Amino acid sequence: MKPFISVTDARRRARRALPSSVFDVVDGGSDDEVTMRRNREAFEGWSVSQRVGVEFDRADLTTTLHGNPLAAPVVFAPCGLTGLVHPDGELAVARVASRRGTLAMFSTFSTHSLETIALAASGPKWFQLYFLGGRAGADQLVARAETAGFTGLVITLDTSVVGNRERDLAHGISYPMERDVGTVARLLPQLMRHPRWLGRFLRAGLPMDMGNASDPGAARDRRAASDMAAGMFESPPGWPDVERLRERWGGTLVVKGVLDPRDARRAVELGADVVVVSNHGGRQLGSAMGTLQALPAVVAEVGDSVEVVLDGGVRRGTDVVKALALGARAVAIGRPYLYGLGVGGEQGVEAVWSVLVDGLARDMRLAGCPSVRQLSGEWIQRCPEPRSNEPSAMRR
Ligand code: FNR
């Protein structure tokens, strides 16, 4: 596989490699995609300090995340239904994370079961919990994750209902996804324009099930799985669940989907070890804040007591620099690795990680900062607001 020039290049190539319905499931946001765009714009609003003449060969990218050593401060965010993109899905992510010395979070909505993923991931792995099958179902998932060796439990709180993803609606896709004849027939013409993707998908037996919807070894029952997914929205997790799960879970407890410092404070009071500043990649509440915009207030509120991770719109080494300079311990990526997965499976995921982390190493040298652990407010300044009469091409 040809290496990626950038994450933007990975996205461009994924757009060609995937049927448009699958690309849009990955690439799309909610409503007018304002939140998704704000994630990117928030990065553009800051500049990185440049110190010259500093002598060092290679910046030290290593750090830790709640005690887990990381080769670089970039981890994998949990994404559901990766099997639509490539049948290896989460297994590819697990292998790349292990090989590259980073941590990965895996979704309840994974295509592969958490037990299968655990076997593929020799590095640190966290399980992201949705209440599939209600509270009783969630308790079973937590027990399974513990047995399988996941050391972190990630409770995503921003998904009480699915966001309004209009690109999916335009393709006739709704959640929980159904493998009904009508949908397949409607999408068939565009699927057939991507014979490599289609061949892989057919050979793998149409991997669009949720691997966690049944106990390991039990026969897959699609109707039951779909009822369980529907049940998830009848009892989405709230703060009392965080409290209850804190008592039950001995490992790292992570609350994901926080933008407001009051929620960050609440998570910490209830015993969270890590807070993920996230708006779900702009796929949930329309017109929410960009995550980098939300980060400083969250760090000011809880940064002394817990580690903060940021996700949403991280596409360049300088984005990582900015998030860390504003107090994040690490960043997580979602779409970038899904683009890579769509282009080249496991190799593609690795190529995305490389292009981002090599970029970070280069940017650290150019900025003159020898270690990611030294990044602080000194390394970043707010850009002046662009003058509104400037041509937009000059602003980009
Ligand atoms: C997600 N995300 C997500 N989050 C989560 O907690 N559980 C999940 O099952 C999913 N599923 C999911 C599917 C797809 C296709 C995408 C793109 C995203 C959100 C994800 O963890 C992360 O917050 C965002 O992807 C980060 O933004 P970027 O990196 O995609 O811009």
70 CB-near residues (< 8 Å, 6+ apart): 62, 63, 64, 101, 102, 103, 330
Residue with CA nearest ligand 1 atom 16: 79
d(CA 227, CA 277): 30
Contact, 138 vs 129, CB < 8 A? yes
Which residue's C-alpha comes closest to atom 1 of ligand 1? 79
Model confidence at 1: pLDDT above 80: yes
Q: What is the mean pLDDT of residues 244-257?
A: 98
Q: Report the alpha-carbon distance of residue 280 to residue 162 in Å, rounded.
A: 11
Q: How far is the CA of 52 from the centre of ligand 1 (A)?
A: 37
Measure 286 CA to ligand 1 centroid, in angstroms. 15
**Residue 313 C-alpha to ligand 1 middle, in angstroms?**
11
Position 218 pLDDT exceeds 70: no
197-204: Cβ within 8 A, 24+ apart: 197/17, 197/18, 197/19, 197/22, 197/342, 198/19, 200/86, 200/87, 201/84, 201/87, 203/87, 204/83, 204/87
User: Which residue's CA is the nearest one to ligand 1's atom 2?
Assistant: 79
- Give me the pLDDT at residue 333, please: 99
Q: What pLDDT does residue 223 have?
A: 66
pLDDT band per the 50, 70, 90 thresholds, residue 209: confident
pLDDT digits (tens, 9 = 90+) for 261-285: 999 999 999 999 999 999 999 999 9
Is residue 374's pLDDT more than 90?
Answer: yes
* pLDDT given for residue 287 in this prediction: 97
pLDDT interval class at 351 (50, 70, 90): very high
171 is catalytic: no
Contact at 8 Å (CB) between 107 and 128? yes
Active-site entry in 66, 112, 171, 280: 280
Give, for ligand 1, the residue of 18, 37, 74, 79 to mutate: max count of ligand atoms closer than 8 Å to Cβ.
79
pLDDT of res. 126: 98
pLDDT digits (tens, 9 = 90+) for 5-47: 999 999 999 999 999 999 999 999 999 999 999 999 999 999 9
Q: How many residues does the chain have?
A: 396
**Cβ-proximal residues to 167 (8 Å cutoff; 6+ apart), any chain:** 24, 25, 27, 28
> How many Å lie between the centroid of ligand 1 and the Cα of residue 368?
32
Which tokens in the block code for residue 139?
């308790």
Q: Which atom of ligand 1 is nearest to the CA of 278?
A: 23
Q: pLDDT confidence of 234, banded at 50, 70, 90?
A: confident
- Which residue's C-alpha comes closest to atom 6 of ligand 1? 156
Each residue's pLDDT tens digit, 84-111 = 999 999 999 999 999 999 999 999 999 9
pLDDT > 90? residue 221: no
**CA 280 / ligand 1 centre spacing (Å):** 5
Atom of ligand 1 nearest to the CA of 333: 29
Whether 392 shows a pLDDT value over 60: the answer reads no
Residue 247 β-bridge partners: none
What integer is the mean pLDDT of 54-63?
Answer: 96
Pocket residue to mutate for ligand 1, from 129, 283, 292, 320, most atoms within 8 A of Cβ:
283
Pocket test for ligand 1, best of 280, 292, 316, 349 (most atoms within 8 A of CB): 280
Cis peptide before 176 (omega within 30 of 0): yes
pLDDT at position 226 is 74
Ligand 1 interacting residues, C-beta cut-off 6 A:
25-26, 39, 77-80, 107, 109, 128, 156, 256, 278, 280-281, 283, 311-314, 333-336, 338
Give, using CA atoms, the residue closest to atom 13 of ligand 1: 79
Distance 387 CA to ligand 1 centre (A): 34
pLDDT in tens, 169-200: 999 887 766 666 677 788 889 999 999 999 99
Percent of the chain having pLDDT more than 90? 85
